[in-house]
Amino acid sequence: MFGVKAKAVRTPIGVVCTIAALLENACKRAEIIGTYPGSIFHFVDPGHAEVFINEYTLHGLCIQHVVPWSRSVLIPDFAGHTQVNILVNDNSVLMVPIDTGPVVRRVDAADWIVTALVGAPAGGPYFDCAVHHKDDIILAIYQVVFGPASKADCNKFIQGNCRPHAR
């Protein structure tokens, strides 16, 4: 598992953590097997919430290409932890802060990017473009083609450089 990204947001019912990554090939599988607090117990609080992921390999013929993987999990964390540790096969791979309030995204700030389908030639034309905040998790089939810039500049870029879909 590589390219692991995650977002964690505190809600009234706990922390919702969304994790995205790439699996090495079509025989790789991954599943969330537990959370702390939740189904995993520690005698001493590690000082952060945790998500445990088990990655394993199915035996047989494998198509050798990366496979996008994503999951969301609710962590029943009411202890006030400020971070979530993502562990794959008991190895810590990422520590993310827990967002506590509504996300405020200013449209005039240079925090926006344009994404397009991977594989377009450098300089365009680009296909299936979209504007995202720079902190959003982007699927592996998309690449950043412009930005960070203001949202208005990103929309101008799309008008001049993007097509609705590949033909």
In this structure, the answer to whether residues 144 and 81 fall within a common structural domain is no
In this structure, the answer to whether residues 120 and 93 fall within a common structural domain is no
pLDDT in tens, 83-128: 999 999 999 999 999 988 766 777 778 899 999 998 888 888 899 9
pLDDT at residue 54 in the model: 98
d(CA 150, CA 132): 11
In this structure, the answer to whether residues 118 and 48 fall within a common structural domain is no
Q: Say if 87 falls within a structural domain.
A: yes
d(CA 137, CA 74): 18
Q: Say if 105 falls within a structural domain.
A: no
Distance of CA 14 to CAs 34, 62, 70, 109, Å? 15, 38, 19, 30
In this structure, the answer to whether residues 88 and 116 fall within a common structural domain is no
In this structure, the answer to whether residues 56 and 125 fall within a common structural domain is no
Q: Say if 133 falls within a structural domain.
A: yes
Q: Say if 152 falls within a structural domain.
A: yes
**Cα angle value 12/14/19 (rounded, 5°):** 125
Q: Which residue has the tokens 């412009």?
A: 146
pLDDT at residue 91 in the model: 96
Q: Evaluate whether 26 touches 65 at the Cβ level (below 8 Å).
A: yes
pLDDT at residue 109 in the model: 85
Domain range for 148 is 112-162
Say whether pTM exceeds 0.85: no
Tell which of 70, 99, 128 closes a domain: 99
Average pLDDT (16-33) is 95
In this structure, the answer to whether residues 28 and 93 fall within a common structural domain is yes
